[in-house]
Amino acid sequence: MHEFLVSAVAFIVLVGLMVVVHEFGHFAVAKLFGVRVESFSVGFGPRLFGVKYGDTDYKVCLLPLGGFVKMTGEAPEQNLEAPGTPTEVPVDDPGSFTAHPRWQRMLIGVAGPVANFILAFVLMLFYFGWINEVPKFEVQTTTIEWVVPGSAAAQAGLQPGDVIRHFETVNNPDWNQVIQRAALDQNQTVPVTVDRGGQTVELSLHLPANLKGQDFDVSDVGVIPQFVQGPIGVQQVQPGWPAAQAGLRDGDAIQSVDGHAFHTVQALLAYMQAGQGKPVSLVVVRNGAVLPPMVAHPAKLDSNGFKLGFAPMPIPYGPAPLPLHQAAIKSREFCAENSLLVVDVLERLFTRKASVSQLVGPVGIARAAGEAAETKDWAPKFGLAAGISLNLGILNLLPFPILDGGMIFLLLIESVIRGDISMSVKERIYQAAFVVLIAFFAFIIFNDVTKLPIFTHLKP
């Protein structure tokens, strides 16, 4: 019951915010062009309270699932005050939606999705500029946990256990300083001094020219840093995968792999990629006792290389806010990457490379919102909110009747034919689209419900 209540409240707040911001985009541009907005509603159904200012009734309604804007003379399918009742188009009314040029109506239509894009950018800008959770460096020294064989770091002579005492021009750097300097020194050879078992070793590290600038990571040159102490904690083992077949269980701790004392799963993954799937010997601690070595056979479980098939215990994180210009760059990159992901999913659906059953609907979003709300980290909360806002904006731009993109598409057709499509034709188009949309959402919700734990446990 607790999980249900948290998910429900989180869903209402999250989706409500996204839809209200979306509708505010329509509202603001409509007001700018002089279109009469009869009501701006937070929620649907009977009016609870509000205030009328000018021509607009600003109100809160009973059902807190989003909101809507009602403009004078808008399309009949948008008459949310009385669904199914045709909206009469006023004649010679300068405040009517249909009395305005088509280009203005298109801008009003696109303003909602644009508001969602802006919201996503602002959310991530705030996150990166004021929070930006990064792994806490429990190991304060710049200690190298693993060096990838054949990498630039290996060619320079760096070894696991080395402690970096000097990097380029920085003495006793931390990992952030190493990353920043290396990102600036692409295609250059820099001096590196390490402490190796109490002895000082002078080396030269050549940094490749294809580093990724702001996204550079020291693993790009083959260095895996040691951030934490202790063994790799196992949070969850996937049934039937190599880890489970070797005997690993939830709650175990991997003390060493082939004699190497790894502390993070990043180092373990790099080691297995270098081994190209060769069997590994795991020394595991379970309930405080060291077990006999287990032999696991890494497998290519996805396109990201060899894995064992377990989720590690999360590394503790702490805040490290970025300067505003860097936060803006990171926010832009987040929005671009997630927008392209949505477009890629849509393309896969239309080309039948993905199934509609893989989509997530209101129930799935509510579960994700509940999980994000209960986690103590901020990244899942901001990431989910920004991702949903981007999804809402992109999906609304699809050229499907009822959606903003559908209205824009019809306006474009009218611009090409230089005439209005008859209202009776529009009504039939909207009615058919409404039926299709309801059927689609019913399928998505059914699909969501079948993915709930209570049903997945019943599957053989």
Q: What is the pLDDT of residues 216-225, one digit of tens each?
A: 678 888 999 9
Residue 348 has pLDDT above 90, yes or no: no
Strand order in the sheet with 199-206: 170-171, 163-167, 189-196, 199-206
Q: How far apart are CA 437 and CA 427, in angstroms?
A: 15
Query: Among the listed ranges 12-16, 28-32, 49-53, 416-420, which one has the minimum average pLDDT value?
Result: 12-16
DSSP 8-state secondary structure symbol assigned to residue 45: E
113: Cβ–Cβ under 8 A, 6 or more apart, which residues? 22, 25, 392, 393, 394, 396, 397, 404
Q: What is the pLDDT of residue 8?
A: 67
Averaged pLDDT for residues 421-435: 85
Q: What is the pLDDT of residue 230?
A: 82
Tell which phi-psi region holds residue 46, choosing left (phi > 0), alpha (psi between -120 and 50) or beta: beta
Which is more confident, 370 or 129?
Answer: 129
Instruction: List, by residue range, all CATH 2.30.42.10 domains of the chain.
Output: 144-225, 232-315
The architecture that CATH gives domain 232-315 is Roll (2.30)
* Two tokens, residue 432: 């058919």
Confidence of residue 349 (pLDDT cuts 50, 70, 90): low
Residue 199 has pLDDT above 70, yes or no: yes
Angle between helices 404-417 and 102-130 (to 10 degrees): 150
Q: What is the pLDDT of residue 31?
A: 93
Which is more confident, 375 or 412?
Answer: 412
Q: What is the pLDDT of residue 74?
A: 77
Q: What is the pLDDT of residue 78?
A: 45
Q: What is the pLDDT of residue 252?
A: 93
DSSP 8-state secondary structure symbol assigned to residue 51: E
Confidence of residue 79 (pLDDT cuts 50, 70, 90): very low
Q: What is the pLDDT of residue 213?
A: 41
Q: Sign (positive/negative) of CA torsion 423, 429, 435, 439?
A: negative
Q: How far apart are CA 168 and CA 156, in angstroms?
A: 14
Tokens 């005050």, residue located: 81
How much of the chain exceeds pLDDT 70, in percent? 83
Query: Among the listed ranges 54-68, 102-116, 195-209, which one has the minimum average pLDDT value?
Result: 54-68
Confidence of residue 111 (pLDDT cuts 50, 70, 90): very high
Query: Among the listed ranges 102-106, 152-156, 174-178, 303-307, which one has the minimum average pLDDT value?
Result: 303-307
CB atoms within 10 A of CB 405: 19
Averaged pLDDT for residues 331-348: 79
Q: How far apart are CA 250 and CA 286, in angstroms?
A: 9
Confidence of residue 84 (pLDDT cuts 50, 70, 90): very low
Pairing of strands 294-296, 280-286: antiparallel
Q: What is the pLDDT of residue 360?
A: 61
Confidence of residue 205 (pLDDT cuts 50, 70, 90): very high
Q: What is the pLDDT of residue 378?
A: 87
- The mean predicted confidence, pLDDT, of the chain is 83
Which of 215, 232, 148, 218 is closest to 190 using CA atoms?
218
Residue 125 and residue 328 in contact, taking contact as beta carbons nearer than 8 Å: yes
Query: How is domain 144-225 classified at the CATH fold level?
Result: Pdz3 Domain (2.30.42)
Q: What is the pLDDT of residue 266?
A: 87
Confidence of residue 159 (pLDDT cuts 50, 70, 90): very high
Residue 106 has pLDDT above 80, yes or no: yes
Averaged pLDDT for residues 232-240: 89
Q: What are the CA-CA distances from residue 332 to residues 124, 177, 274, 295, 345 (Å)?
A: 8, 24, 34, 44, 20
Q: How far apart are CA 369 and CA 207, in angstroms?
A: 42
Q: Dump strand ranges (E) for 238-304.
A: 253-257, 280-286, 289-290, 294-296, 299-302
